[in-house]
Amino acid sequence: MTDRPAPTHCPYCALQCAMTLTPTDASGAAAPTDAPPVTVVGREFPTNRGGLCKKGWTSAELLRAPSRLGAPLLRGADGALHEASWDEALDLVAGRLRDIRARHGADAVGVFGGGGLTNEKAYLLGKFARLALGTSRIDYNGRYCMSSAAAAGNRAFGVDRGLPFPLADLDDAETILLLGTNVAETMPPFIGHLAGAQAAGGLIVVDPRRTATAKLADDGRGLHVQPAPGTDLPLLLGLAHVVIAERLADTAYVAERTIGYDAVRRSVAPWWPERVQAVTGVPATTLRRLARRLATGGRTFVLTGRGVEQHVDGTDTATAAINLALLLGLPGRPGSGYGTLTGQGNGQGGREHGQKCDQLPGYRKITDPAARAHVAAVWGVVADDLPGPGVPAIELLASLGRPGGVRALLVHGSNLVVSSPNAGAVRRAVDALDLLVVCDFVLSETAALADVVLPVLQWAEEEGTMTNLEGRVIRRRRALEPPPGARDELRILHELARRLGCTARFDTDPGAVFEELRLASEGGIADYSGIDYALLDSGAEAYWPYPRGGTGTPRLFADRFAHDDGRARLVAVSPRAAAHPAPGPGELTLVTGRLLEHYQSGAQTRRVPELLDAQPELRASLHPATAERLGIADGDPVEIANVLGSVHGRARLTADIRPDAVFLPFHYGDDQAANLLTSDAVDPVSSMPEFKTNLVRVTRLVEAGAPA
Q: Check whether 31 has a pLDDT greater than 50.
A: no
8-state DSSP, 128 = I
Least confident of 121-135, 560-574, 580-594, 621-635: 580-594
The CATH number that domain 147-340 falls under is 3.40.228.10
Q: How far is CA 155 from CA 312, 323, 355, in A?
A: 17, 11, 21
Q: How confident is the model at residue 707 (pLDDT cuts 50, 70, 90)?
A: low
Residue 59: which of 463, 472, 607, 669 has the closest Cα?
607
Let me know: does 465 contact 474? Beta carbons within 8 Å: yes
The residue type at 257: R
pLDDT cut 70: percent of the chain above it: 97
Let me know: does 310 contact 145? Beta carbons within 8 Å: yes
Let me know: does 595 contact 667? Beta carbons within 8 Å: yes
Query: What CA–CA distance (Å, rounded) separates 167 from 16?
Result: 12
Instruction: Over range 62-79, report the average pLDDT.
Output: 94
The distance between the two most distant Cα atoms of the chain, rounded to a whole number of Å, is 74
Is there a cis peptide before residue 545, judged by omega within 30 degrees of 0? yes
Domain ranges of the chain: 6-64, 73-144+346-456+488-521, 147-340, 588-700
Cβ neighbors of 423 (< 8 A, separation 6 or more) are 417, 645, 673, 675, 676, 678
Would 73-144+346-456+488-521 and 147-340 be classified into the same CATH topology?
Answer: no
Let me know: does 437 contact 410? Beta carbons within 8 Å: yes
Q: Helices (DSSP H) in 468-532: which residue ranges? A: 489-499, 510-521
Query: What CA–CA distance (Å, rounded) separates 250 from 261?
Result: 12
Answer positive or negative: Cα dihedral of 152, 157, 159, 164.
negative
CB atoms within 10 A of CB 532: 17
Buried b (16+ CB within 10 A) or exposed e, 95-125: ebbeebbeebebbbbbbbbbbbbbbbbbbbb
Strands 223-225 and 258-259: unpaired
Question: Is 523 exposed, middle or buried (CB count within 10 Å of its CB: 0-12, 13-18, 19+)?
Answer: middle
CATH superfamily of 6-64: ADC-like domains (2.20.25.90)
Instruction: Over range 116-120, report the average pLDDT.
Output: 97
Predicted local confidence at residue 706, as pLDDT: 62
Predicted local confidence at residue 30, as pLDDT: 44
Instruction: Over range 199-215, report the average pLDDT.
Output: 96
Q: Check whether 382 has a pLDDT greater than 70.
A: yes
Predicted local confidence at residue 205, as pLDDT: 97
Q: Helices (DSSP H) in 222-269: which residue ranges? A: 232-245, 251-257, 261-268
Buried b (16+ CB within 10 A) or exposed e, 204-234: bbbbbbbbbbbebbbeeebbbbbbbbbbbbb
Q: What is the pLDDT of residues 168-191, one digit of tens each?
A: 999 999 999 999 999 999 999 999
The CATH number that domain 73-144+346-456+488-521 falls under is 3.40.50.740
The beta strand positions in 201-330, using DSSP E, are 203-206, 223-225, 258-259, 300-304
Average pLDDT of the chain, as a whole number: 95
Q: Which fold has domain 588-700?
A: Barwin-like endoglucanases (2.40.40)
Let me know: does 16 contact 9? Beta carbons within 8 Å: yes
Q: What is the pLDDT of residues 396-426, one digit of tens each?
A: 999 999 999 999 999 999 999 999 999 999 9
Residue 129: which of 170, 173, 97, 175 has the closest Cα?
97
Instruction: Over range 659-681, report the average pLDDT.
Output: 96
Question: 126 φ, ψ to 5°?
Answer: -65, -40
Cβ neighbors of 254 (< 8 A, separation 6 or more) are 261, 326, 327, 329, 570
Question: 150 φ, ψ to 5°?
Answer: -65, -45
Predicted local confidence at residue 2, as pLDDT: 55
DSSP output for 382-396: -GGGS------HHHH
Cβ neighbors of 699 (< 8 A, separation 6 or more) are 630, 638, 639, 641
Question: 72 φ, ψ to 5°?
Answer: -60, 150
Local structure of 584: helix, strand or coil: coil
Q: Check whether 72 has a pLDDT greater than 60.
A: yes
Question: 689 φ, ψ to 5°?
Answer: -75, 160
Query: What CA–CA distance (Å, rounded) separates 152 from 538?
Result: 35
Instruction: Over range 659-679, report the average pLDDT.
Output: 96
Predicted local confidence at residue 704, as pLDDT: 61
Q: What is the pLDDT of residues 439-485, one digit of tens each?
A: 999 999 999 999 999 999 999 999 999 999 999 999 999 999 999 99
Q: Check whether 497 has a pLDDT greater than 80.
A: yes
8-state DSSP, 193 = G
Let me know: does 516 contact 378? Beta carbons within 8 Å: yes
Q: Check whether 27 has a pLDDT greater than 80.
A: no
Query: What CA–CA distance (Å, rounded) separates 300 from 287?
Result: 17
Cα 463 to chain centroid distance, Å, stands at: 22
Query: What CA–CA distance (Å, rounded) separates 580 from 590?
Result: 11
Query: What CA–CA distance (Å, rounded) separates 257 from 487?
Result: 50
Instruction: Over range 47-68, report the average pLDDT.
Output: 94
Buried b (16+ CB within 10 A) or exposed e, 290-304: bbebbbebebbbbbb
Instruction: Over range 26-44, report the average pLDDT.
Output: 73
Q: What is the pLDDT of residues 510-537, one digit of tens each?
A: 999 999 999 999 999 999 999 999 999 9
Q: How confident is the model at residue 583 (pLDDT cuts 50, 70, 90)?
A: confident
Predicted local confidence at residue 584, as pLDDT: 87
